Amino acid sequence: MKKLFLFFIDGIGLAPASENNPISGLFSGLTEGFGLKFTDKPLFFKDSVLCPLDACLGIKGEPQSATGQSTIFTGENAPALLGYHLPAFPNEELVKLIAEKSIMKVLAERGVSVTSANMYSHRFFEERRQSEKNRFPVSTLTIEASGTPFRMIEEYRSGLAVFADITGELIRKRGYEIDEIEPEEAGRRIHGIMKDWQFVFFEYFMTDHYGHKRKKEELIRSIEVLDRFASAVASGLDLEEEAMLIVSDHGNAEDMTTGGHTGNFVPGLLVGGGLEMRESFSRSKSLTDIYNFFLEYYKN
């Protein structure tokens, strides 16, 4: 049975290695030492392939979260649809698009079991529902459209959810009484979830947060967490029948000279899935291609 872990990381692009690029060595263990440095063509490694993906999508200006993520999760060129790059939360037009074409919804309708590994809090929903405008990110709307239940603190305590910062440190600081976990334990939790689900989604946003604030030391610590977590997930995969796809929506953390987004290519790193699937994914050129790859992955 084919299974895939979609690891979405907000705000990481591909740029040459430099003192201003703290993420160039990220995922070196999955790429035979190459990391996430600039490349303008797909690079094949022993069990993975790294593709540079266009996040600008033919629209002037820096790519943004609402349109970039909507493109990933619907396959539609969201910036072209709106005529501009939209930051933060989806507007009414994108909310409707996600409700209709969410990849998790479409896969579920085709018989693929889908879920998110992210732990949510009741406060998260209560606060955002008070706003007249949409205050839910693309990821939450994508999960909601599929009809799959959100994982809450109960699932976290039973070892079947991971908080957005991977370790749980952030939500403990907000007053929640939960255990912090090591990145390796978070990786084991992903495998525990994958035992019962074919498509598992997880979102990490701290890279974009630290990039905007130009907090290099915090970003470097987050890179270590990401490396350990992704390595733990990869080490437990059946590399022929299971895969991990790491993808981002726009650049940011790869350039500490600015607190804004960049127009750099973003990484699409496919680990496992079998050579045929990696060759198929290597033909991906932009964020619009990821959606069809998901559909192809589960075709047979």
Q: pTM for the complete prediction?
A: 0.96
Q: Which of 299, 273, 296, 293 is nearest to 281 (CA)?
A: 293
**In angstroms, rounded to a whole number, what is the distance separating the alpha carbons of residues 34 and 26?**
9
Checking if the pLDDT of 234 tops 90, the result is: yes
List the domain boundaries for the chain.
Answer: 3-297
Checking if the pLDDT of 219 tops 80, the result is: yes
Instruction: Quote the mean pLDDT of the chain.
Output: 96
> What are the tokens at 282?
């290597």
**In angstroms, rounded to a whole number, what is the distance separating the alpha carbons of residues 219 and 221?**
5
Q: 3-297 adopts what CATH topology?
A: Alkaline Phosphatase, subunit A (3.40.720)
Contact status, residue 21 vs residue 253, Cβ threshold 8 Å: no
Res. 169 pLDDT band, cuts 50 70 90: very high
Strands (E), the chain: 3-9, 43-44, 48-53, 114-116, 199-204, 242-247, 266-272
What integer pLDDT is reported at residue 300 of this predicted model? 62
Res. 92 pLDDT band, cuts 50 70 90: very high
